[in-house]
Amino acid sequence: MNKRVLFGTLIAGALSTSALQAQDSVFVGHLADLSGPTAFVGKNYANGIRDALGYIDANGGIDGTRLEFETVDYAYKVPQAIASYKKWVSRKNMVAMQGWGTADTEALITFVAKDEVPVYSASYSGHLTDPTGKNPKTKKPAPYNYFYGASYSDGCRALVQWAADDWKNKGGAGKPKFTHVGDNHPYPNAPKEACAEYAGELGFEVMPPIVVSMKPGDFKAQCLSLKDSQSNYAYIANLGGSVVSLIKSCGTVGTDVQFMSNIWGGDKPIFEAAGAGVKDYIFPAMTPFWEDDAPGMTLVRDISKVSDPSGTEFRSHHYVRGVCSAYYMKEAMEWAKANGGITGANIKQGMYARENWVPKGLEGVCLPANWTAEDHRGINTVNIYKGNYNGGDIEIERVTQVTLPRRDDWLGY
Amino acid sequence: MSTVSMRPCGDFRTSYAEDRTIFETRTTLYLAIATIALLCLAPFILDAYFLTLGIQVAYLGIAALGLNILVGFTGQISLGHGAFFGFGAFASAWLHNSFGIPVFFCIPLAGYMTMIVGMIFGSPAARIKGLYLAIATLAAQFILEDFFARADWFTGGSYGAAAPPVAIFGYEFTNDQSFWYIALFALVTMYLWGTNLMRTRDGRAFVAVRDHYLSAEIMGINLTKYRLLSFGVSSFYAGIGGALYGHYLGFVSAEGFTILMSIQFLAMIIIGGLGSVKGALMGTIFMVMLPEMLEGIVGLLSATSWGGSTAFTDGLAYLKEMSIGLVIILFLIFEPEGLAHRWQQVKSYWKFYPFSY
């Protein structure tokens, strides 16, 4: 054979092999906060995503297509999130992304819509739920943003609904008082107005919000204000260490108020850290807990073995929520593969293909979801739990399940 | 003016005009033009990842130069530069969303709005200095951060504000390739203007205020005026940088403009070199590239056979953050005058080679 022909054949062969390989795998980027200010819960959630993606890849991928992924710890810094995103889009042909917080998700809204890359974030901000900008209140439509769970606003509305029933059951007279407790910061503020509005509708007297720093500290002064206002129900919008400090400070002051927290503010590690101050603490959850016996928990425990082969490590419910987020994406990708190929635009269509949708194998873990092209409120059901410390034996029990109406004026709000 | 070398040996300046020229020799002038021409070709060669880093260098670099004019040239201090940067972003979005002004004009207007805000917060500078001034500007940082979260009419509150792309004659600069030119144009204009400012009466007054305020006053320099003006110019730069940032992302959220950003700007000018225009740019490039380089190293280590475990990659994540801190400390110890000074030494070395004097 002529040398030139041989050389040409070799190059063509190499090119076609690499092209085949490229077709045989798809890339998903994963932004995580493992060392930044939200790492307290960010790590748990990121582990859930990472293990789930690893597990999917090791068990057949997306119907035979390999699932490549890369986790980048962006430490909650927007410029680094943007740089990673651009790298993935331009060099790895990313088809979908697992994101994390408000800062990176919002910074990327425009880019992902233009590049047609669906993003599954853990920012449950209500304004990510309006893909078309139908609601006049929506500042910016977010057509390529998804999240697994109720929005912060819906979560808070569900808690307020529970509080209204609780007030009735306890035989409370007159108007109960409701207070928003949180830092003056986009994340705690996200549900503030929406929730106060609904509380007003349900007959609460909405008290002026109390500002409590996101950083842990001594919050006795704020607890005294809470006590003075004679609030009956307080919604804690912060996370982690700040919640622990607040519970401890209010315990010292002797505040008699029913605390309710957002999705990041209630989990086992928080109750362990806060100790005896925790009494009938109410919080929402979108998945069962690690010790629970739902059928889908078998798969979750298998997934957990990806990073913990012994299977002994405790996983918080944030981890489980990460698994759900990854699996909704996986099934949308499977739909895309069967309907024209795994591209961002097809994955988006895959998100709308089913109703009351629970990923296969995660029955009883992920709540049935409904995404439509007009409404990205995938979940409008909220499970409400009560937590108690009980001398170190942490008791968590489900109190009720609230299903919220899909009101048009609540879309994107 | 010498034409053959990058830097003439000895000082041959014989007129004031030569003394005050922006480019030392014709060669440096041609080199600068060639570099800009080459940078204009970048979108045809580089991918979106490199372009986005370049764009980051542009908007952060403009703001960093502003801070360097205040800190490096005038000797004032500000811990609120991140908040001014954010104010520019919100102001530009607000001008466009509320009054329908084309984005291209919103950007400089946002600069002027930020300048006014900066001068209001800078007004205590007329009476206080040093640590006291640092705390006063720290207050600006916190007041503005709180304002961003509260002022629904201006910033959209916790929802943030949409910032549409720059558009000229109907053409929208939406992707990295096209926005690169906007960023490059802004960077070159602002840096030329910054360099020029330092040759003017006002710029020299800034330096005089920094070097010895009493002598400056005796010479007839109005201290209050120039300290305030320096705050104004610095905030103008921050506002322009912030507005570019906002229109690049398309969305402005109050979350990013924290004290950490202000400190990062300070780090940029300290690493680059206080009181040097090109130092501000060098420091910005350094601070933008460092995390990316470290991320690359972390990525390489993770790809090894023993790098797959979660514990290992989590450890690397912390190592990465610590390395950034370590590099900054090493800089302060071994290169306190910044990258600009090092660059000067490199040039002198080549000039004088093989003699060391």
User: ipTM for the complex?
Assistant: 0.85
Of B136, B143, B141, the residue nearest B122 (C-alpha) = B136
Establish if A267 touches chain B: CB-CB under 8 angstroms: no
Q: How confident is the model at residue A186 (pLDDT cuts 50, 70, 90)?
A: confident
pLDDT tens sequence across B34-89: 999 999 999 999 999 999 999 999 999 999 999 999 999 999 999 999 999 999 99
Q: Which chain A positions have a beta carbon within 8 Å of B313's beta carbon?
A: 71
Are the CB atoms for A361 and A326 separated by under 8 Å? Answer: no
DSSP A30: E
Identify the pLDDT of residue A79.
86
Q: Quick one: what percent of chain A has pLDDT higher than 90?
A: 69
Note the pLDDT tens digit of each residue in A356-368: 999 999 999 999 9
Least confident among A298-312, B226-240, B250-264 = B250-264
Q: Does A189 touch chain B (CB under 8 A)?
A: yes
Tokens read off for A183? 């830092």
Cβ of residue B177 closer than 8 Å to a chain A Cβ? no
Asked if A78 reaches chain B (Cβ–Cβ under 8 Å), the answer is yes
Looking at the partner chain, which of B47, B149, B314 has a beta carbon nearest the beta carbon of A184? Answer: B149
Please indicate if any CB of chain A lies within 8 Å of the CB of B254: yes
Distance CA A147, CA A125 (A): 9
A vs B, Cβ pairs < 8 A, gives 103
Determine contact, residues A250/A365, Cβ cutoff 8 Å: no
Of B250, B255, B292, the CB nearest to A109: B250
Angstrom distance (rounded) from CA A251 to CA B107? 50
Q: pLDDT band for position B246 (50/70/90)?
A: very high
DSSP run (H or E) holding A282: strand A281-285
Contacts of B58 (CB under 8 A, 6+ apart): B183, B184, B186, B187, B244
CB of A215 less than 8 A from some CB of B: no
The whole-chain average pLDDT of chain A stands at 90
The per-residue pLDDT for B55 is 96
Q: What is the pLDDT of residue A139?
A: 75
Which residue in this structure is represented by tokens 């994963």?
A: A30
pLDDT value at residue A20: 43
The model's pTM: 0.88
The answer, yes or no, to whether residue A349 has pLDDT greater than 70, is yes
Confidence of residue A322 (pLDDT cuts 50, 70, 90): very high
Closest CA to B234 of B41, B48, B88, B24: B88
| Interface residue of A82, A94, A308, A315 to substitute, partner B, most B CBs within 10 Å | A82
What's the pLDDT score for residue A22? 47
B114 touches A: beta carbon within 8 Å = no
Using the Cβ of A114 and the Cβ atoms of chain B, whether some distance falls under 8 Å is answered with yes
* Sheet-wide strand order for A66-73: A66-73, A25-32, A96-98, A119-121, A145-147
* Sign of the torsion formed by the C-alpha atoms of B294, B297, B303 and B307: negative
Reduced to 3 states, what is the DSSP secondary structure of residue A231? Answer: coil
Nearest neighbour of A103 by CB, restricted to B49, B255, B292: B255
Give yes or no for residue B8 having a pLDDT over 80: no
Please answer whether residues A211 and A222 qualify as being in contact, where contact means their C-beta atoms are separated by less than 8 angstroms.
Answer: yes
Q: Does A111 contact B250 at a Cβ distance shorter than 8 Å?
A: yes
Nearest CA distance, A307 vs chain B (angstrom): 6
DSSP of A327-339, one letter per residue?
A: HHHHHHHHHHHHT
Report pLDDT digits (tens) over A252-277: 898 989 999 999 988 888 888 888 87
Q: B253 and A140 in contact by Cβ < 8 A?
A: no
| Average pLDDT value for residue range A6-19 | 49
Strand partners, A121: A147
Collapse the DSSP code of A174 into the 3-class scheme (helix H, G, I; strand E, B; otherwise coil) and give the result: coil
